[in-house]
Structure 1
């Protein structure tokens, strides 16, 4: 079975990245300050995680932040930290100097 395609939305009012995947609402809460974005709480069902959507969702979020070019990422949740560790080479420019995992 091939995964459904989806797009993320940056809901600046609620400070969260959002998507609807297989009719389920998914979000990653954030706060931003001083050119840093703190990615704090990912809400996604275990069923979607098992289908590989967590990786796809976080890839879209990181790519979106990278495209904006102004912010550095501070991962504050275990899922985001795990994703960053697995993709460290691709996204190393998004982590502030002095932060390591």
Structure 2
């Protein structure tokens, strides 16, 4: 999966057959806040979204960012993938 970090639009992007899938973010003090997932109307592949989020977590690890999940769907991702809980900043409990 090829992921583009579109810093101008503040989102991670990847292309699927149906169109563009993106996760919007904002930065503050070495923390990345994941705020929204955008998918084409006809796109319903939850496993793809999970894999996309895993790739974003790997980017956060490489860049030494803490991850703050704002969107409930991303909170669920963290609960299903406890291996990434070390990316949560101190004081964030899910």
Give the TM-score normalised by the residue count of structure 1: 0.84
Match of 1:96 among 83, 89, 93: 89
Give the TM-score normalised by the residue count of structure 2: 0.89
**Matched residue count:** 94
**Which residue matches 1:3?**
none
The reply to whether residue 72 of structure 1 matches residue 63 of structure 2 is no
Structure 1: which 5+ residue stretches go unaligned?
1-5
Q: Find runs of 4+ consecutive structure 1 residues off by over 3 angstroms.
A: 45-51
Structure 2: which 5+ residue stretches go unaligned?
none
Distance 1:51 1:80 in 2: 12
Distance 2:18 2:42 in 1: 12
Distance 1:51 1:65 in 2: 21
Report the aligned-residue RMSD: 1.6
